[in-house]
Amino acid sequence: MVNRIKTYFLLGILTLILIWIGGFFGREGLITALILAFLMNWISYFFSDKIILAMYRAREVKENEEPYLHSVVAKLAQSAGIPKPKIYIINSATPNAFATGRNPNNAVVALTTGILQLLDENELKGVIAHELTHIKNRDILVATIAATIAGAITFLARMLQYIAMFGSMNRDDRKGGNLFALAAILLFAILAPIAALIIQLAISRSREYLADEGGARISGNPLYLSNALRKLAYGVNRYPMRNANPSTSSLFIVNPFSGKSILNLFSTHPPIEERIKRLERMYV
């Protein structure tokens, strides 16, 4: 509950920042920011899952195609106390998985072909239980909205930076009347993307630990997931997902980029070693 409150608080801060940026453009800018914030939240709520699945060319797998996989998901979903989600497959050698959807009744678990080939039965149960915990806790919707707003803040901050450097807000700028405002805009244009990223990191890392713990309980053994994480870390380093979008990387169970990638400096995931240690402590 505490983590949920903190997450919603951070989302509220992001929305206020977006509106504050719009205020620099006057009344029209404020109204535009309010409309933009509403549209982003509405699109994220109703279409985030479809956008992400299309982005990775995921294909829905029916029960007659993969009866065993559907059986595993159904049993774990029953243990989690949620409806059985749809199952999608992504044609990628990178072993990974994510869940998406606005609520447990409209949820999807997506698995790559690589993860199905790499993990054994128990390890796959640990991964699926992790994703079902995200669905149960409604983490995916929160993370998607946070990513959307953060992306908008970054975009608007860049626009403000260009305005501060190459343009003027109004005719009084030449007289120095808006020098302070221009300085504030320039400073915020630099700091806003950093602040948005930090908030995303805070949301993603806390929810990953909670999903690990919940997944261990749902699957019945925390070692299922800890063993899976070891294999996934090795698999991603060997077969990084080169076409992954950085804005969606936080959705995956492990960072889809190679450990050698500079993008890992801004990883939205906690260290796998720490996740494994926490899971192993649950087993003792």
Active site residue 131: yes
Which residue among the candidates 123, 131, 208, 213 is catalytic per the annotation? Answer: 131
Residue pair 98/129 in contact (Cβ under 8 Å)? The answer is: no
Q: How far from each other are the two terminal CA atoms of the chain, in whole angstroms?
A: 26
Could you list the active site residues? 131
